[in-house]
Amino acid sequence: MAEEKVKLEWEINKKTSWLGTSFKELYLYKDLLFSLVRKEFLSSYQQTLLGPFWVLLQPILTVFTSLLIFHKIIGVPTEGVPPLLYYLAGITLWNLFSDIFLGTSITFTQNVLVFNKVYFPRIIVPLSVVLLSGLRFLIQLVLFFIALTYYYLAGKVVIPVNTLLLAIPVIITTAGISLGAGLVFSIFTAKYRDFLGLLQVILRLLLFVCPIFYPMSIVPGKLKWLMNLNPLSAQFELYRYALLGKGQFTADQVLYSGLFMVVLLAGGMLLFNKTADRLVDVI
Amino acid sequence: MIQIENLSKLYRLGTIGSGTFKRDLNNWLRGIFRKNSDSPARLRETGENAFAGKDHLWALRNVTFDIKEGEVCGIIGRNGAGKSTLLKVLSKITRPTEGFVRGRGKISSLLEIGTGFHADLSGRENIFISGSMLGMKKTEIKKKFDEIVEFSGIEQFLDTPVKRYSSGMYVRLAFGVAAHLEPDILIVDEVLAVGDAEFQKKCMGKMKDVSHQKGRTILFVSHNLQAVNNLCSKAIWLQKGSIHAMGETQMVVNRYLGAFQKKMWKREWGSPREAPGNDWLRILSVELIPHLPNPMAPIDIRTPLTVRFRFHNFNNQIHLSANLVLFSLAGDCIFDVPSVSGDFNEGVVEGECTIPGRFLNDGSYYFSLFFLKDTSRTIFEYEECLHFDVEDHRENIHWYDKWVGAVRPHFPFTLRNGNVSNNGHGALDTRRHLL
């Protein structure tokens, strides 16, 4: 009997682990990860005329809308940066955040049918959302650099070569916060659909509490605390500082959002791993 | 190989709403102070039978069994017996409440066909998506791509979105992907319920291949008992979440059928007042006597059936006859057999009719008895007096679909080799048959 026990490779029981699946198992499913990314990417452009161009078209249209509203009508200052560049930077980073947050928070509700019929490490699904959103973001980043080069050649901006690489930690922190929040929300939305409605409200609120269409410098002193509380604020300022050389932030704020990211992401991952295998009974 | 020990799964019933939220909070708060206040262990102590309270249900309860390597195991049971839950636990989709499963080898489960298909994408893309979702590697799918396409016969439509496929094509493609999985342990749930007969045959063939030639372990849930009989070496009968019977397939399937056949095989009346009848006659008893090899076996198409009835005739000097009429459950008349008529005086009259085996098709049937005077005037109709089911039985036939026809008589029917000359064996055989 003892001999036989040794030969057994796996066990299914009621315990779920905080750490979830091993990296070895995740690695076994790496093809699934890429095939999910491919599936989502391809399927979002089926039966469209412009196809993948929507990746670029969407931010361009948003930029022009905000140009009209915030620049022409309201007249929000853009710290001497051409407004188009200013908005493009903010909007692409925001898209990254909202894509990941929305995409991951509906992990369970969107995939009930699949989760009910086949097993794979559930974390693959949110990871595929992150990869896909990252891919979209990179494409949009190229668009940003094209615009930046244009304005540079026109002599309207200076490219801050020294700080450009600072954008990388900003992107990672923003993606981390949105993934962490998305994972936590995915568990809530799985059991209580009320959170799906809440999601939209939160996103809309955040959109205006983040310095996307306006600089931190014009926020009145009384409301500064709200901006400081938002871990994303510093990231947007830092991002513009890195790419355009204009931004207002303190080391404390940056540290705060970095720490916020680590805690939220770790917490979200652990919670997701612990509950994912049980949620199938309630979705 | 798989070892399953004391596997139990508890489901909470009812909808999720404010009530559940309150309870969640409650449990959570109590859990902080006292551990596991509403734990399954406690529920198990309180619930004596299969149901633990009115808002909980044990979908599986203390299920223990082993499956050896290369064994093909069929799981049967009525709807809600826990078959699908068992497969879900085994394929890691849901966690057991108690107990564990241990095993060796890679498991793939086919609980549905076309899992992960995206309607907007082409057949080609979907092969890769579905394949990887079922646990195949990209290189593996590439290697088998042509085989899958050939199996499903959709070459022409590879680049068409699957939403434009006919349902048959869709199913073929979906099964094509699944059929090319190469796990050590395959878990299959009712996939044979889809597709046309031709395709079902293909699927069964594929599954036989996998189990016989490649020596894989298969767990197979199906309502198609013919398929279970044909494929499986071992069967498990689940009832209300527990194992009711387990062992050699034929034995388990027979017991299962025997238990669920719609039975109204015998009716007797103590006093004539309650008995059906009229001024002409009163029925005393009707009985269906199947000639079974053993009492546990179900009635199948090979079983000869005898109908025996007794009635009290109130008239003297009457010319009586009876008709035994068989109807399918749908109400179609299968046959109407008249008895020999005769003259009777007041007293008890007995009747008996035997239907040979290998005559009826499988299905549900009922008998009606008609009594006639002077072979023309109906004096009493006793409708739906006996109910019974006839189960299917097939030997050396690789056709798993429903056998058509109202009856399924066993007539001599042979095929001969036409190339043999007239004075060869062919002629001899004919002569022998005629004799």
> What is the ipTM, given to two decimal places?
0.85
Nearest by CB to residue B16, choosing from A16, A29, A282, is: A282
Instruction: State the pLDDT at residue B17.
Output: 67
> Tell me: the pLDDT tens digits for B277-292?
888 999 999 999 999 8
Q: State the Cα–Cα distance between residues A62 and A66, nearest whole angstrom.
A: 6
What's the pTM value of the predicted model, to 2 decimals? 0.75
**Contact residues, chain A, for B137 at CB < 8 Å:** 31
Are B184 and B216 contacting, i.e. CB atoms less than 8 angstroms apart? Answer: yes
Instruction: State the pLDDT at residue B422.
Output: 54
For residue B216, what pLDDT band results from cuts at 50, 70 and 90? Answer: confident
Alpha-carbon gap: A233 to the closest alpha carbon of chain B (Å): 34
Residue B238, phi then psi, degrees to nearest 5:
-95, 140
Q: Across residues B419-429, what is the average pLDDT? A: 54
Least Cα distance to B133 among B177, B199, B77, B188 occurs for: B177
Q: Across residues B15-20, what is the average pLDDT? A: 67
Q: State the Cα–Cα distance between residues B278 and B220, nearest whole angstrom.
A: 54
Q: Across residues A181-202, what is the average pLDDT? A: 90
B191 has a pLDDT exceeding 90: no
DSSP A114: H
Q: What proportion of chain A, given as a percentage, has pLDDT over 70? A: 97
B202 has a pLDDT exceeding 50: yes
Report CB contact under 8 Å: B93, A116. Answer: yes
For residue B48, what pLDDT band results from cuts at 50, 70 and 90? Answer: very low
Nearest by CB to residue A117, choosing from B11, B99, B115, is: B115
Instruction: State the pLDDT at residue A25.
Output: 82
**Contact residues, chain A, for B1 at CB < 8 Å:** 8
Instruction: State the pLDDT at residue B44.
Output: 47
Judged by CB atoms within 8 Å, which residues 207-266 of B form the interface with A? none
Q: Across residues B118-144, what is the average pLDDT? A: 91
**Contact residues, chain A, for B94 at CB < 8 Å:** 277-278, 280-281
Q: Closest-CA residue in chain B for A11?
A: B102
> Tell me: the pLDDT tens digits for A46-97?
888 888 888 889 899 999 999 999 888 988 888 888 999 999 999 999 999 9
Tell me the β-bridge partners of B103.
A10, B2
Instruction: State the pLDDT at residue B318.
Output: 92
Report CB contact under 8 Å: A118, B161. Answer: no
Instruction: State the pLDDT at residue B18.
Output: 66
Least Cα distance to B100 among A281, A115, A275, A8 occurs for: A8
Distances (CA, A) of A255 to A163, A182, A249, A261, A269: 18, 21, 11, 10, 21
> Bigger pLDDT: B205 or B140?
B140
Alpha-carbon gap: B94 to the closest alpha carbon of chain A (Å): 6
Residue B41, phi then psi, degrees to nearest 5:
-60, -40
Are A101 and A200 contacting, i.e. CB atoms less than 8 angstroms apart? Answer: no
Per-chain mean pLDDT for chain B: 82
For residue B31, what pLDDT band results from cuts at 50, 70 and 90? Answer: low
Please give the span between the terminal C-alpha atoms of chain B, in angstroms, as a whole number.
55
Nearest by CB to residue A119, choosing from B16, B91, B128, is: B91
Q: Across residues B184-194, what is the average pLDDT? A: 76
Q: State the Cα–Cα distance between residues B422 and B420, nearest whole angstrom.
A: 7
Instruction: State the pLDDT at residue B435.
Output: 46
Tell me the β-bridge partners of B134.
none
Instruction: State the pLDDT at residue A89.
Output: 93
Alpha-carbon gap: A86 to the closest alpha carbon of chain B (Å): 37
> Tell me: the pLDDT tens digits for B311-354?
999 999 999 999 999 988 777 889 999 999 999 999 999 999 99
Three-state secondary structure call for residue A49: coil
Instruction: State the pLDDT at residue B261.
Output: 60
Select from A3, A119, A271, A273 the residue whose CB has the most chain B CBs within 10 Å, as the one to mutate to test that interface. A119
Select from B36, B60, B94 the residue whose CB has the most chain A CBs within 10 Å, as the one to mutate to test that interface. B94
Alpha-carbon gap: B117 to the closest alpha carbon of chain A (Å): 9
Alpha-carbon gap: A192 to the closest alpha carbon of chain B (Å): 8
For residue A37, what pLDDT band results from cuts at 50, 70 and 90? Answer: very high
Are B301 and B392 contacting, i.e. CB atoms less than 8 angstroms apart? Answer: yes
**Contact residues, chain A, for B92 at CB < 8 Å:** 12, 119, 277
Report CB contact under 8 Å: A120, B99. Answer: no
Instruction: State the pLDDT at residue B73.
Output: 92
Report CB contact under 8 Å: B96, A14. Answer: yes
> Bigger pLDDT: A168 or B80?
A168
Q: Across residues B122-126, what is the average pLDDT? A: 92
Count contacts between A and B (CB, < 8 Å). 109
Select from B4, B113, B132, B163 the residue whose CB has the most chain A CBs within 10 Å, as the one to mutate to test that interface. B132
Q: Which amino acid does the sequence have at A205?
A: L
Instruction: State the pLDDT at residue B369.
Output: 93
User: Rounded to the nearest 5 degrees, what angle is found at the Cα of B301, between the Cα atoms of B289 and B82?
Assistant: 95
Report CB contact under 8 Å: A8, B134. Answer: no
Instruction: State the pLDDT at residue A178.
Output: 96
Give domain limits for chain A: 23-282
Residue B276, phi then psi, degrees to nearest 5:
-70, 145
Distances (CA, A) of B77 to A8, B239, B241: 29, 6, 10
A210 has a pLDDT exceeding 50: yes
Q: Across residues A230-249, what is the average pLDDT? A: 91
B120 in A contact zone (CB under 8 Å): yes
Q: Across residues B358-368, what is the average pLDDT? A: 89
> Tell me: the pLDDT tens digits for A107-122?
998 898 889 888 888 9
Instruction: State the pLDDT at residue B186.
Output: 86
> B429: which 2 tokens?
């055989």
B182 has a pLDDT exceeding 90: no
Nearest by CB to residue A11, choosing from B89, B101, B109, is: B101
Least Cα distance to B65 among B117, B3, B151 occurs for: B3
Least Cα distance to A179 among A135, A133, A238, A139 occurs for: A133
Report CB contact under 8 Å: B118, A35. Answer: no
Q: What is the DSSP string of A180-235?
A: HHHHHHHHHHHH-THHHHHHHHHHHHHHHHSTTSS-GGGS-GGGHHHHHHSHHHHH
Q: State the Cα–Cα distance between residues B324 and B338, nearest whole angstrom.
A: 6
Instruction: State the pLDDT at residue A36.
Output: 92
B111 in A contact zone (CB under 8 Å): yes
Tell me which of B117-121, B130-134, B393-397 is least confident: B393-397
Q: State the Cα–Cα distance between residues B114 and B170, nearest whole angstrom.
A: 8
Report CB contact under 8 Å: B138, A9. Answer: no
Pairing of the two strands B56-67 and B2-12:
antiparallel
> Bigger pLDDT: A45 or B50?
A45
Q: State the Cα–Cα distance between residues B66 and B4, nearest whole angstrom.
A: 6
Three-state secondary structure call for residue A10: strand
Side-chain half-sphere of B182: how many Cα atoms within 13 Å?
A: 7
> Tell me: the pLDDT tens digits for A121-153?
899 999 999 999 999 999 999 999 999 999 999
**Contact residues, chain B, for A16 at CB < 8 Å:** 95
> Tell me: the pLDDT tens digits for A9-31?
788 887 777 777 777 888 888 99
Three-class SS string for chain B? CEEEEEEEEEEECCCCCHHHHHHHHHHHHHHHHCCCCCCHHHHHHHCCCCCCCCCEEEEEEEEEEEECCCCEEEEECCCCCCHHHHHHHHCCCCCCCEEEEEECCCEEEECCCCCCCCCCCEHHHHHHHHHHHCCCCHHHHHHHHHHHHHHHCCHHHCCCEHHHCCHHHHHHHHHHHHHCCCCCEEEEECHHHCCCHHHHHHHHHHHHHHHHCCCCEEEEECCCHHHHHHHCCEEEEEECCEEEEEEEHHHHHHHHHHHHCCCECEEECCCCCCCCECCCEEEEEEEEEECCCCCCCCCECCCCEEEEEEEEECCCCEEEEEEEEEEECCCCEEEEEECCCEEECCEEEEEEEEECCCCECCEEEEEEEEEEECCCEEEEEEEEEEEEEEECCCCCCCCCCCCCCCECCCCCCCCCCCCCCCCCHHHHHHHHHHC
For residue B431, what pLDDT band results from cuts at 50, 70 and 90? Answer: very low
Instruction: State the pLDDT at residue B193.
Output: 61
Q: Across residues B386-396, what is the average pLDDT? A: 85
Report CB contact under 8 Å: A282, B133. Answer: no
Three-class SS string for B116-154? CCCCCCEHHHHHHHHHHHCCCCHHHHHHHHHHHHHHHCC
Report CB contact under 8 Å: A42, B103. Answer: no
Q: What proportion of chain B, given as a percentage, has pLDDT over 90? A: 28
